[in-house]
Chains A and B, each alone.
Chain A
Amino acid sequence: MKILVKDLLLEIGTEELPSSAIYSGIEQLKKNAEKTFKNHRVNYKKMNSFGSPRRIILYINSVEETQSPLVTKVIGPFKKDAYDKDDKPTKVAIGFAKAMGVDLNQLGVEKGKKRDVVFAEKVEHGKETINILPNILKELVVSLEFEKSMFWDHPDLRFSRPIRWTLSLFGDELVDFSLDGIKSDRFTYGHRLYGKERILINNCSEYFGKLKEKLVIADQNLRRNIILGEIEKIEDKKIKVKITPKVLDEVVNLVEFPQIIIGDYPEKFLKLPKEILVMAMQSHQRYFPVEDIEGNLINQFIIVHNGLKESEELIKEGHQRVLEARLEDASYSFHKDISINFSDRTELLKGIVFHDKLGSLYNKIKRLEELGIYLADINNMQDLIDNLKRTVKLCKNDLTTKMVGEFPELQGVVGKIYTDSSYIITLYEPSKLGGEEKIVSKAIYEHYLPIQADGDLPKSKVGSIVSVVDKLDNIVGMLLIGHIPTSSQDPHVLRRQANGIISIVLNIGLSFPLSDMITKNYKLYKDQIQTLSHSKKTLELSQKETVKIVKEFILDRLKAYLIRLEHPSELFEAIIGVNDEQIVNILERESALFNFVKSGNFEDIIVPYERCYNLSKGEMFYPRLYPVDDKLLSHPTEIKLANLIKTSKRKIKELINSKKYDLVLKKLSSLRPLVDKLFDDVLIMEEDLNIRRNRLSLLLYCVNTYSEFCDFSKIIHFVYKK
């Protein structure tokens, strides 16, 4: 039998959706449709979803016109009851077949748990697809969820923006359903400029073509390609268009029929710092800046618009006016800003609240200075301290500028620009910008990095140190006043900041004991709070509690970091059983252990360890009280082992000090033959109490040697599965 197929089209017509809702709608619609078509046993060839500001679309090619049949296997009576000795069906078989609606000869026999059983395959024939589509499609529309959704004039509907129509065709047949009064139909609507003129779609196949005639490119990828293609046409040997992916993603979904215009702006604005100009063009207006081959801006910009080609002159003029006003605004802020010495702004930080209970930003940079110096000291980076102090003094100053007030995303960037001497030289007008050391000006920018998960990290040591102490100071401060992130809420993005600390210390190999740093940070807060006039002079958490909570918080992020690398978290737990202070060190040990486990030789450590551990763990004595007594050792194997452990332990300590963790593990696994031999040759639980205790001491001595590296007792039963 030939399987009949037709295309299926669903268009959810809306008022202008936010760009993010279009992307999310496209993704969900396809995902949900795949699931529900599978559940309903409707086969098809290819499924795609699309979206533009006024519609989200599902298009499925070659959908079968009937559902696949549903076959259910029903187990019936025992064979011995259903058939007699001559294999003739009994009443039992006849009754079962009748109940299942199948012929007697369609019954089958198979092996049951104890005896052979009879079964029937009940076949439910598929319904016609057109009959089940209305419900499927209706459910699909309702299944879409958005970050923010709203009510409009239909009390039972919620969506990102109002749904105004639905179009739904199966081939040329209308799929008839109603969403709280919005009835599906054969009509769609073109570009806004065509107003309410509706377009009749007779058959799915003519949908995209007819829309295009009315200036709608419904496929987001096509719109993106048109924009990129048009931009490519503009670019030549002299100019390049600076495309930020985030802006492009948005622009694609701000228009239904992309058109491109090059506008220009007065040349005088090119004197403004590039980053500021770019921000003025991109943020809010979503224009693309234009550069020359060397990456210098030229006074042109790209507008992606939604109007008609013949109106371009007027449209361009309008956009140019808007950009000019915005640049005028930025220029005004810039000139106000540079009339004040940048380094004088540090005083102004006294008036900016960091957090009401935790004082001002000025208080903050005082803490950062001490923490930064401490961190540089213990990492033998004393030569950086002058630049570090200068960076800390200036790093928050740009928060007092008008420019950052206008474009908050430029924090750090403005600080860099306003202190960078190479920039100031090119500025042909009097200013009070400070020409700082290159390293300082760069570090001011870097101390906010990474800006997003997996974003760029600070490259300089100064930038890294300031970034780490700033983030730690945020975490300690917020946690000690009880702002502890929950699984769903983390308004101060403390988790991301802890992740940032981890990435940075790994990146440049900074080491510091967590407890000491947190304690230091806590004390600095405590001392300052004494001097704050208006707040309660006490902190909500004690020093001990703070250290515990902050440390747990950071270790938790460390664990999450390893889980992202697909390392089993048990290994991490074993490591922090021995060392929970040094981030870099924890990760180095963990990585050695992980590689060791992966190499398949883990048994050589864990088997002997487990034997020693199990026997000795119950003993309530300490090796310090009962050290291994050489005189009580009698068997040659135990004498040999005692000697081996003694020399090995020393060697292992040395290797740990020089951070050669792979060798530590190698050394530990080399103990196996002799430990195994000990259990073969020697009876540990000797009747003589002194000998028994001495042998247990020897085992404990072994355990402690293993524990120099990590707490293996936490991973005795661990099995690595890839």
Chain B
Amino acid sequence: MILNLHQYWVDYGCLILQPQDLEKGAGTFHWASFLRCLGPEPWKAAYISPSRRPTDGRYAENPFRMQYFYQYQVVLKPSPPDVQDIYLKSLESLGINLREHDIRFVEDDWESPTLGASGLGWEVWIDGMEITQFTYFQQMGSIELFPITAELTYGLERLAMYIQRKNNVFELKWNDKITYGEIYKEAESQWSIYNFDLADIKMLKKQFDMWELECKKALEKKLIFPAHELVLKCSHAFNMLDSRGAISVTERTNYIKRVRDLARLIANAYLTHREELGLPLLKGENIG
């Protein structure tokens, strides 16, 4: 499945990138989305993004909700006029015959308060199953965007469940011999216990403060990429605190604001930096 998607998007002209080796809530946090959607330079990339959402853990007892899962992320800037058709063809490349199915684009407005990001788009349904999140970014790092980036986020487990006709993620076949559950179920349940019941709250709060300070330091030296990774660490510490139920409503708003402020600074610094470089990708036009 992944190989097919890679092939399809390479053929379309995307760069195939690797996951960023840090805990992230979604593929959007990857620098290839968060930073590269900023400014006028064109960008086309595809990559897998392991995603961690501690509060979504269900001790491996829920048929499709997990705290760790995989996304396949495609970002296209500027968004091509026929982006919906391009996307639908990628489904065909996975062997899905569209004419045999009920395909729907169902309104979904996306927002990430920590990234200061928002966009409009859809959940894509195939026979009632949500398999992709399709978004036109409007704002990132609290900056209004133009040109607009189209983001396609395939839920790989969902897609596999659909193709293999399973209604429980842990029953997915990884290959002929072994199931998804046999590989991940134990970890999923243990992580749920750790995220919800064990992780040290004091340590997490301290970590958050430290990463935040470190991030600001990096920013002062205009070290955008390190600053970006440091804000990801803050964000993950916040998510962990959230799943431990350790923060009240107001505190929560406050933490979100702290992450968003950093994200905004990074986004602005990145824009300035690219302009100083003379927006190099603008000249090449075709990067694929």
Contacts and interface: CB of A to CB of B under 8 A. Distances in A.
A160 B64 CA distance: 31
Contacts of A355: 249
B84 A193 contact: no
A434 interface: no
A356 B105 CA distance: 39
The size bracket of the interface on B is 35 or more
Contacts of A318: 101-102, 126-129, 162
16 contacts: A148-B120, A151-B136, A151-B146, A153-B148, A195-B85, A307-B100, A311-B99, A315-B101, A318-B127, A318-B128, A318-B129, A319-B102, A321-B165, A325-B167, A328-B168, A356-B251
Contact of B105 (A53, A308, A357): A53
Contact of B129 (A311, A322, A328, A356): A322
A329 to B, nearest CB: 6
Contact of A150 (B101, B102, B136, B166): B136
A15 B88 CA distance: 13
B136 A322 contact: no
Given A193-B99, A254-B104, 5 more contacts: A151-B145, A193-B103, A285-B128, A303-B102, A356-B248
B81 interface: yes
B176 interface: no
A714 interface: no
Interface in A154-203: 155, 160-162, 164, 192-193, 195-196
Contact of A351 (B79, B128, B146, B245): B245
Contact of B120 (A150, A196, A303, A305): A150
A322 B127 CA distance: 8
B64 A325 contact: yes
Contact of B249 (A17, A285, A356): A356
Interface of A: 15-19, 53, 148, 150-153, 155, 160-162, 164, 192-193, 195-196, 254-255, 285, 303, 305-308, 311, 314-315, 317-319, 321-325, 328-329, 332, 351, 353, 355-357
A164 B166 CA distance: 36
A177 B122 CA distance: 30
A314 B100 CA distance: 7
B276 interface: no
Interface in B63-95: 63-65, 78-82, 84-85, 88
A303 B128 contact: yes
A254 B146 CA distance: 29
B132 to A, nearest CB: 13
A334 B81 CA distance: 46
Given A150-B138, A153-B147, A306 B165 contact: no
Nearest to B107: A18
Contact of A324 (B81, B103, B167): B167
A517 B210 CA distance: 49
B272 interface: no
B41 to A, nearest CB: 15
B165 A328 contact: no
Contact of A325 (B63, B100, B127): B63
B197 interface: no
Nearest to B138: A150
Nearest to B61: A332
A350 to B, nearest CB: 13
A318 B128 CA distance: 7
Contact of B107 (A19, A195, A305): A19
A319 B99 CA distance: 16
Nearest to A147: B109
A305 B125 CA distance: 11
Nearest to B103: A192
Nearest to A196: B85
B250 interface: yes
Contact of B102 (A148, A307, A328, A356): A307
A332 B99 contact: no
**Nearest 6 CB-CB pairings of A with B:** A318-B127, A18-B107, A16-B105, A356-B250, A307-B102, A305-B102
B129 A321 contact: yes
B72 to A, nearest CB: 20
A323 B125 CA distance: 13
A152 B82 CA distance: 12
A355 B61 CA distance: 32
A329 B62 contact: yes
A247 to B, nearest CB: 13
B75 to A, nearest CB: 15
Contacts of B122: 16
Kindly name the residue among B101, B122, B129, B162 whose own CB sees the greatest number of chain A CB atoms within 10 A: B101
A318 B248 CA distance: 41
A318 B159 CA distance: 12
A155 B146 contact: yes
B127 A315 contact: yes
Contacts of A307: 100-103, 127
Contacts of B249: 353, 355-356
A322 B167 contact: yes
A255 B107 CA distance: 12
B282 interface: no
B183 interface: no
B279 to A, nearest CB: 17
B203 interface: no
Contacts of A314: 100-101, 127
B106 interface: yes
B176 to A, nearest CB: 22
B193 interface: no
Contacts of B105: 15-16, 53
Contacts of B287: none
B275 to A, nearest CB: 19
Nearest to A318: B127
Contact of B63 (A192, A329, A351): A329
A306 B100 CA distance: 11
B1 interface: no
Interface string B41-62: 0000000000000000000011
A156 to B, nearest CB: 11
B98 interface: yes
A507 B264 CA distance: 52
Interface in B241-270: 245, 248-251
Kindly name the residue among A19, A161, A321, A357 whose own CB sees the greatest number of chain B CB atoms within 10 A: A321
Nearest to A285: B128
B31 to A, nearest CB: 23
Nearest to B106: A254
Contacts of A254: 104, 106
Nearest to A255: B104
A351 B247 CA distance: 11
Nearest to B109: A148
A317 B249 CA distance: 42
Contacts of B62: 329, 332
Contacts of A160: 120
A161 B103 contact: no
Nearest to B84: A15
A311 B107 contact: no
Contact of A328 (B63, B126, B245): B63
Contacts of B63: 325, 328-329
Contacts of B107: 16-19
A681 to B, nearest CB: 73
B269 to A, nearest CB: 24
A332 B59 CA distance: 12
A331 to B, nearest CB: 10
Contacts of A255: 104
A534 B229 CA distance: 33
Nearest to A323: B128
Contacts of B100: 307-308, 311, 314-315
